Structure 1
Amino acid sequence: MVSFAFTEEQREFQQTLQDFSRKRLLPGYRDRAASAEFPFDVLRQLGELGVLGIGLPEEYGGTGAEDPITLGLATETLAYGDVNLASAPIQIGLIGSQLVHATEEIRQNYLPAMIEGRKTVAIALTEPGSGSDAAAMTAVARPVDGGWQLTGEKTAISWACNASAALIYARDPGSTRAAGVSCYLVPLDAERVKVHHMPGMGCLPLGWGSIHLDDVFVPESHLVGEQGKGFQAVMSHFDFSRAAIGLMCLGAAQASMDEAIGYATDRHAFGKPIADYQGVSFQLAEHATYLEAARWMCYRALWLREENEPHTALASMSKWWPPVVAKNAIESAMRIHGNLGYSTEFPLQQRYRDVMAYLVADGTAEIQKKIIAKDVFERRGIVS
């Protein structure tokens, strides 16, 4: 029989994170989200809770084996209080899964600091001319004595402005598409590296920015993983992160729904609570249904990951639909609040702007639908 129950250990972990999310994160979310300053103090608290090392090696402070469901549970629960900080376990898990293939010196230098919340590392894949088509990157790693010289530009990079280093993906001269792409760890204070802030309408604390490299020397010791196999390595982990991102957006939406329920119960119009009117209660019922359906789709994708079963298409479903469901739920909560929902004194408008980013970030709906459609046809023996 299929079980939808979390383990006792997972439920206890969830309860710990719920207390932290509601008591520590939620009260300061609006002010943190309105600032471009990265909250390292709170990140270190997440490290103390053991949130940042989920699925990373124990010898560096992590929990050990990959644990997709616990990671999803953590991001969903934390997003109730702060959707921006909830992205940290995903980001660190994605980067850490690459760094475990680096030299021991790099692993010792970065993994414990990341897991403890003392240091951040960015992942720089996207370029101005190759957003969803990541394999079309043009950044080049030219071999030189002792290493490589990297030239290119990366854009729309989360944590670019607060990271001490970045995983830069660049290709061998003359290579095309996914072939010949390698991953290099580049300190962002290195010579000939420039970082520019790119303020967005939301996600300000994440330090969204661009990274310019002009013949930046990278020593052989800073190659991460196998030469020419960097693209395949990172793409395999996006299936993991996409479902967790979906849950992150849903956690933020649930907070907005709960606020709308409380407001609809307290706010009276024409002599009774507005929750008594179907125009309000039916909105809440509909969005509760969508949130529940999207939530379990994400967990199924993570369960398939845990079972080592095919899950790429379901991960893409979890990336394009749940953020839309979350955005729509938050918008409904704003309307239920009336003019207060639009006010900057309330967190609703901030969540709306922060969640909106994930309609595009980490793969647009269009690229996810392309992946899903490919799976649909292949299952029926049709090559598209």
Structure 2
Amino acid sequence: MIRPSASLVGSFRQHYPQVLAAAQVFTESGIAVRSPPISRITNHGDEFVRFVSDPPLSSDHAIQAMTLEKIFTSDFVYVVNPDGYIGPTTAYELGRIHERGLAVFYAEPPKDFPIHVPEGTIVSARDLAAAVGGGSMHPKPIRRPRVAALPTADIVILTIRSQRLHVLLIKRGTDPFYGRLALPGGFVRPGESLEDTAMRELKEETGLDGSGIRPQQLRTYSDPQRDPRGRIVTTAFLAIAPNLPEVTGATDAYRADWVEVEESLWRDGGRLAFDHGVILQHGLERARQLLEHTTVGLDFCGKVFTISELRQVYETVWGVQINPQNFQRKIRNTTGFVVKTKEKRTSRPGAPAELFRRGTARILYPPMMRPRQRSRAESEDERTFAL
């Protein structure tokens, strides 16, 4: 049995006295206020408001993340918006709040937030506190409903084979979705982390040894209808590695194989089981973004490589052609991206190609931005883009 909880959002720089007044109304009605802290603002002129109670060494990003976590664990959100003003920071928070499906109430109709506000959600703090807390200093406790869900982990593994981007898929040998293609993955066992589950299922379902693979969390998928077996929440991981070997099927997968990544895998439900088409699409987009801002493109290469081979990685993952001279100039001028070795490769016709290895950088600055998307009206012949 717990007390109801609320979080208050609004322009703290302009309306913090009104926020404090609303927080006091909720507190007096027995409603726990999770955010903001009842404290003094220390930086009125900055974009992100900081309070005396905030950890002094934490970054603005860390403070914002902690604030959102408090908001997301509240029973409802109350927007303090005198004269209807929301503001850009509050708009960002409200976007995240609406994504989570939290109940949101407003002090006044918002004027600068392009969203439909349901009838009955414009209410004063006092009336809302009376409705939720019963208008008493000691409201009747409520029992928060609980949802039982089983956790699973899935993994998107991308590699380049024959200059084509491939993803590792299994063909399901059990219901549901018998015979359909799916990402490797399965249920979390007692004592396992999500990462351990993903790598264990990878080994069991494909025979692939994941000891040299470095997975990173992609996102969590929790649509109540995503799995016909019940409420199953999965966390997907993304991994990138070069020249991965052939694979075999095992356990509940009677076959595993490398499949070329193409839009048919996720279009209109696609060929993949569950919501794995959506997960694969997100994984591909994440990989493309990582190539822009990090050195993850080198994960597709071996220990030594040529600039041309690295360019082929970018062309394969992005799905565009890149001007070779511009690419080479950008690679060589990006500090810490690659390191020139004393070796050369002479297996191809022409002048020997210089070999490089991974540098110390992990973040690319300036970033290696993708060429812009071409409109349908542009000529099909104009397929060679410059970085």
Question: TM-score, normalised to structure 2's length?
Answer: 0.27
Pick the structure with more helix per residue: 1
Greater strand percent: which structure? 2
Q: Relative contact order, CA 8 A, sep 6+: which one is greater?
A: 1
Structure 1 length normalisation: TM-score?
A: 0.27
